[in-house]
Amino acid sequence: MISYKPFQKLLIDKEIKKTVLIKLAGISGATMAKLNTNDYVSLEVIDKLCRVLQCQPGDLLEYVEENKSNY
């Protein structure tokens, strides 16, 4: 599973409010909601966020192995 927990931490570290980032990156509130719930977002969104936050994709997301007992 892809987790955007590093993205949340980066926003806190850089003291950037989500509403400001929405405007700067040109993304929708619905897209921000997807990031908050670890739902799929396109690479275009990741690209926009990296440009605005001056970071690499690995600074925004991480892979977390799901519990195999759920299968």
Cα dist. 3→6, 28, 69 in Å? 8, 19, 19
Alpha helices in 1-71 (DSSP H): 5-14, 18-25, 29-36, 43-53
Spatial CB neighbours of 20, under 8 Å, sequence gap ≥ 6: none
| Structural domain 2-65, CATH architecture | Orthogonal Bundle (1.10)
What is the predicted pLDDT for the residue at 69?
58
The per-residue pLDDT for 14 is: 96
Which residues have C-beta within 8 Å of that of residue 58, sequence separation ≥ 6?
A: 6
User: Domain residues of the chain, as ranges?
Assistant: 2-65
Query: Structure pTM?
Result: 0.89
pLDDT at 5: 97
Q: Each residue of 12-55: pLDDT tens digit?
A: 999 999 999 999 999 999 999 999 999 999 999 999 999 999 99
